Structure 1
Amino acid sequence: MNLIYKEKKKMKRKLGSSLILSFLWILLFLLGFGGSALAAGGDGSGGGSGNGNGTGQAATSDITTETTTPGSGGGTGGGSDEPLTLVSATPAVDSTNVAVDSAITLEFSKNVAYATVRDGNLKAVTLWKGDTQVPADITMADDQLEPDLRNFITITPTEALKEGTLYTVKVDDTLAAKSGNVLAEPLKLNFTTTAPATPNSNLTLWISLGALVVVIMIIAAVLMKRKKV
């Protein structure tokens, strides 16, 4: 009797466990199906306005893009309205006793080596001796590779300069900066090379006296030899 009771009780427990497990599986299935349905048929909340078919319309926002325009300066920090001027010259204007192998360099207030004005500026600078143009190489640095040298022009004579001679560097008023500004007027920059060295007068005197002494000694030796004969 007790054995039958125990078996029935055991079967009831198994049946109860099976029912509970089945209920849990059904509940999980319903939760999964319901979640999918909510995701598919949502109202688009969380960033868009839903249209009921799961393809919510994304929210839009106004984005303002700021653009900057390049400055109109001449490449040296100055505005385009500032005139193009000569800052310095080497040798200095009207200088004297300039070595014949000195470098000739002009510095301007703006970028004169920019690509659009470069070729014209190379023709605007010349070197003269009186009314005769002196052959010279006019050079400028690449303003993209050497921005620190974009305001400089170098003049290198292809022939040696003459000593004690007045030279003139001429710059036409067509010389232009990157900004388009030109010189207000042509430039004429004079310098004079070192005068030829004069021989030392004392040295010449001593050489002359030495030569005279040698000649006198030779004459004296010849005369003494004749007397002995």
Structure 2
Amino acid sequence: MSYSRRRFLAGAGVLALAGLPACAVLARSENIGGVRYGMVHDETRCIGCTACVDACREANLVAEGVSRLSIIRSEPVGDFPDVKYRFFRHSCQHCDRAPCVAVCPTGASFRDAATGIIDVNPDLCVGCQYCIVACPWRVRFIHPVSRTADKCDFCRKTRLKEGRQPACVEVCPTRALTFGNLDDPQSEVSKLIAGQTTYRYKLALGTLPKLYRVPFRYGEVKQ
């Protein structure tokens, strides 16, 4: 999960242009009004089965050749036969201060006021790819059919619209994913964050990602 210095500086440069702090470590939560959905990925429970990837593809009709979600397996940790792997969820972080929203020239990339979810309106997207360049996590892509930007939307237009959990959460066999309202202290996701040691990837960029992680217990966890 390492990124080259050139890619890091490119992402930080875009954040600076968007008026976002590139180095400040900010508070865990920022109230933006309405429900503020977030997710926890428990790396101690994840077994890398990729059922979440398949469920996402099926629920959201993700085109072949692209993916809204991937699970990245680390190099082996430990010596044979006691070898372990860390599984890292690679998907949209749904940042409270999203650089992809800040740089979009048409308003196609937006934060949904009702849920806090970062989404894309394909009717407004012109395929300029500014949002793709701005994203420090490199999780956006151009849809091969619509030729517009696409990414994880926490199943906002599918499962959430039906009053259900995101497809990846529903299908996970080890309950490694928890989803809910971060601004509700009684929600399952808020209680998990309050009661567990968690981290957020690239937090120092100041984007306030809403994807939290329970860290892998073995080896070094790079943030």
TM over 0.5, yes or no? Answer: no
- TM-score category (smaller protein): under 0.3
Write 1 or 2 for the structure with the bigger share of helix: 1
Write 1 or 2 for the structure with the bigger share of strand: 1
TM-score of the pair, normalised by structure 1: 0.22
